[in-house]
Amino acid sequence: MKKTMMMLAAFWAVLLLSQNAGAEVIKADGSSTVFPITEAVAEEFGKASGGTKVMVGISGTGGGFKRFCRGETDISDASRPIKSSEVATCKAAGIQYVELPVAFDGLAVMVNKENTWVDHLTVAELKKIWEPGAQGMVTKWSQVRDGFPDVEIRLFGPGTDSGTFDYFTEVINGKGGSSRGDYTASEDDNVLVEGIASDKGSIGYFGLAYYEQNKDKLKLVAVDDEKAGNGEGPIEPSMETVKNGTYQPLARPIFIYVSKDAMKRQKVQDFVNYYLDHAVALVEEVGYIPLPADAYEAGKNRFANGVPGTVFSGISTAGMSIADIVRMEK
């Protein structure tokens, strides 16, 4: 018995001691939107560097920052800038970080294929459908616009841990996180696709890259922000309209955040530099819109100099174009 106890104790000791040796793995976690990009980079970097271990998790942007600010991960994938509450958590834990925009993404609003009445919606109409006050009140399409039929609306969208949810609610409802609650929420975009495809009165939103793969099942809705400055009238999201800034306001920058502690490790530095060097090709391959090449150069400079913190403290990215992001970063 004594022997067994000693062996157990020894096992435990070795286990705890070898914990620091485990730092060889580069740990990234966070947004499911950014996941395909980081995954692609991890895969290519793994090959190019002769088997460096990179793991990429999917905890949602908010879930990713919770882990990041606890020091559990090296890189946090985020489909929105870090929130001031998260800035405070990180600060309290002594975690410093460098913020790097890596791509642009469009949010697509979709309806059922058999929906014949919607060809576009204005931002105001989207707000009418999704604002918290609409809960239990706006239940028929006829309430959205005169002339729409008396068909019941069924709503689908991402869950509250998602950066996509934060961003959509911010630019449409005016406040991040404020949304009606009576909709089908899922972090699994396939569930949303199937849900929207199954009912005539459905509407939902998620990342444009996901729509590209499901074109045959869904109908894309053009969005009109009713501002003349960035392209008049309703505009459909596409690589082109997101890139040239006419698809507004549902286009957004997405980021990675790199912990300054992790930056001390050569492998993490190599990985992030590889990320920024190969972003243009890989971002496009997985269906997102790359930033201009000089934006990645600026990112590399920020990274090399270890410029800490966020440039978005107290500023919303709502309605920002790629050019705006590049300017802020420089």
Partner 1 sequence: MTRNQWSKFSDRVFQAVGLFTTFFGLAVLAVLLYDVFTDGFSRLNWQFIMSYPSRKPEQAGILAAWGGTIWIMVTTALFAIPIGIGSGIYLEEYARKNRLTNFIEINIANLAGVPSVIYGLLGLAIFARAMKLDRGVITGGMTLGLLVLPVIILSTREALRAVPSSIREASLALGATKWQTVRYQVLPAALANIMTGIILAMSRAIGETAPLIAIGALTYIPFLPTSPVSVSKSAPFVNFTLQGFLDPFTVLPIQIFNWVSRPQKGFLVNAAAGIIVLLLITLFMNAIAIYLRHKNQKRW
User: Which chain residues interact with partner 1 by CB under 8 A?
Assistant: 11, 14-16, 18-19, 21-22, 25, 27, 29, 35-36, 39-40, 42-43, 46, 51, 53-59, 67, 72, 188-190, 193, 209-210, 212-214, 286
End-to-end, the C-alpha distance of the chain in Å comes to 65
Half-sphere CA count of 280, side-chain side, radius 13 A: 8
Q: Residue 298 in contact with residue 326, Cβ under 8 Å?
A: yes
CB of 268 to partner 1, least distance (A): 16
Q: What are phi and psi of 181, to 5 degrees?
A: -105, -10
- State how far the alpha carbon of 128 is from the alpha carbons of 138, 141, 196, 317, in Å: 8, 11, 19, 22
| Reduced 3-state DSSP string for 122-191 | EHHHHHHHHCHHHCCCCCEHHHCCCCCCCCECEEEECCCCCHHHHHHHHHHHCCCCCCCCCCEECCCHHH
Q: Considering the complex, what minimum distance in angstroms separates the CB of residue 325 from partner 1?
A: 25
Rounded to the nearest whole angstrom, what is the least distance from the CB of residue 222 to partner 1 in the complex?
A: 22
**Inter-residue long-range contacts of 52-57, CB under 8 Å, 24+ positions, other chains counted:** 52/26, 52/267, 52/270, 52/271, 53/24, 53/25, 53/26, 54/25, 54/26, 54/28, 54/271, 55/25, 55/26, 55/27, 55/28, 56/28, 56/29, 57/27, 57/28, 57/29, 57/30
To the nearest whole angstrom, how small is the minimum distance from the Cβ of residue 57 to partner 1? 4
Closer residue to partner 1 in complex, CB, 27/302: 27
- Closest distance between partner 1 and the C-beta of residue 168, in Å? 19
Looking at beta carbons only, is 13 or 323 nearer to partner 1?
13
Give 166 or 187: the residue with its C-beta nearer to partner 1.
187
CB nearer partner 1, residue 22 or residue 314? 22
Residue nearer to partner 1 on the CB measure, 211 or 303: 211
Three-state DSSP class for residue 248 = coil
How many of the other CB atoms lie within 10 Å of CB of 94? 10
In the chain, the amino acid numbered 87 is V
- Of 134 and 209, which has the nearer Cβ to partner 1? 209
Between 54 and 276, CB nearer to partner 1: 54
Shortest distance in whole angstroms from residue 246 CB to partner 1: 25
Task: Single out the residue of 312, 214, 293 nearest to residue 254, CA to CA.
Answer: 312
* Least distance from partner 1 to the Cβ atom of residue 147, Å: 34
User: For residues 215 and 264, which CB has a smaller minimum distance to partner 1 in the complex?
Assistant: 215
CB of 150 to partner 1, least distance (A): 33
